[in-house]
Amino acid sequence: GSCRHRCCPGRNNACWAPGARRAHCYCDSYCQRTGDCCQDYHATCRRAAVGCAVGPWGPWSGCSSPCGVGSRARSRQVTVPPRHGGDPCPDLKQRRGCLGEHPTCGTAK
């Protein structure tokens, strides 16, 4: 069978071609795990694989708690989504602890 006209990301049971002895061979990236790829999968689809690319991290948010323990967060955006079994995207959000120290914290009763 040949993947000449299609390569699919992830697991896609509809992404197949007729193989030897009336069996299906697959052109999805999951076929590498199951061992049922078409003969030309690596040459055709892996060459077309595009890994995820992300932009820079944005700024950290302010502390979620003005007084005491809280958290800050930041995020980044996908600039190029993965295609044809390319590397998946890394984390797009991060969170870390913080201690809110607003000037009014010590005077609150």
What domains, with CATH codes, occur in the chain? Answer: 1-48 (no CATH), 55-80+90-108 (2.20.100.10)
- For 14-37, what is each residue's pLDDT tens digit? 988 888 777 889 998 888 889 999
CA-based Rg of the chain, rounded to a whole angstrom? 24
Task: Look up residue 17 and give its amino acid.
Answer: A
Can you tell me the distance from the alpha carbon of 16 to that of 30, in angstroms, rounded to the nearest whole number? 12
Contacts of 75 (CB under 8 A, 6+ apart): 57, 58, 92, 93, 94
- For 55-109, what is each residue's pLDDT tens digit? 999 999 999 999 989 999 999 999 988 876 677 899 999 999 999 888 888 765 4
H or E segment to which residue 69 belongs: strand 67-75
C-alpha distances out from residue 47 to 3, 4, 27, Å: 12, 12, 13
pTM of the model: 0.54
Are 1 and 39 within 8 A, CB to CB? yes
SS3 71: strand
Can you tell me the distance from the alpha carbon of 39 to that of 25, in angstroms, rounded to the nearest whole number? 8
